[in-house]
Each structure stands twice: as structure tokens, then as C-alpha cells.
Amino acid sequence: MRRLDLLLPRAGPRSIVDPTADRTRDADAGKARSGALGGPSFDDILSGTLGGNVKLSAHAQQRLQSRGIELGPVELDRISQAIDLLAQKGGKESLLLSDRAAFVVSVPNRTVITAVARDELKDNVFTQIDSALLLD
């Protein structure tokens, strides 16, 4: 069944089931889900297959893990949108600054090359970049 998300005053977001939805179509769609609750699986997030085909290099995965930076689907989507904008403007190797971290990305490859936590940015020098973008 199709879920409808509702926002009720003082109750927070709620989800109800649409009683008019086609059960067979939704049952088939449920089989394609990779996570337990219909969200992405941990392997999908770790492999970087979410977020508009943004990839994470092995080095970036190691840096994210060692520095305790977690990238969820929302952050990956923001990075993907930033890469799209940078590609339109002709960026090749870019620095993305978010409120939690800085990322060096290869725009043509749509790959995060490395990541640094925001509190570790002091005295860091980023070389071989041609553009920078602040993420909201």
C-alpha cells in the first residue's frame, strides 16, 4: 500500500496507509527496497551509490571513517547538486565547504577525493583546486 506522510499540529510527522492503493504494485515495489524500513542499505551508502551517482574514493571513505564524519543521503544529495553546479561553471577539482566538513571533489568523475572535519580545517592548505563552493 502507498504511504501518505502527514504533518499534524503538535504531533509531528505521521504516516498513514492509503487504503485505495493497489496492493500488488506496492508489494512488488517493497521487494526492491534494500533497507529494512525501505531506506538505503548501509552497503549502498558506504559504496557511494546514492546521491546522484556521487562516488567516494577509498581514501575519502577512510578519512570519513577515521574522522567520524557521517554522510547520509541528504548530504550526498547536497554534494551531488553542488557537483552539478560546478560542472555547469566549468569546475574540475573543487573544494566544497559544509557546516560539518570540507570535501575535495573531482567534478568530471563525480567523486569525493578526501574529507576533513570542519574543526580540523585550521592551518590546512588545499592545493590543485580550481573552484570552491559553500554548501548551505
Model confidence pLDDT, tens digit, residues 54-72 = 999 999 999 999 999 998 8
Helix/strand number for the chain, H first, E second: 4, 7
Instruction: DSSP letter for 10, please.
Output: T
**18 pLDDT more than 70:** no
Mean pLDDT of 59-87: 93
Give the pLDDT band of residue 32 (cuts 50, 70, 90): very low
- CA–CA distance, 130 with 136 (Å, rounded to integer): 20
- CA–CA distance, 102 with 126 (Å, rounded to integer): 10
Mean pLDDT of 81-100: 95
**27 pLDDT more than 60:** no
Give the pLDDT band of residue 91 (cuts 50, 70, 90): very high
Q: How would you list the strands of the sheet with 55-56, edge to edge? A: 55-56, 111-117, 101-106, 93-97, 131-134
| SS3 label, residue 52 | coil
Q: Taking the complete model, does pTM exceed 0.75, yes or no?
A: no
Cell of 39: 531506506
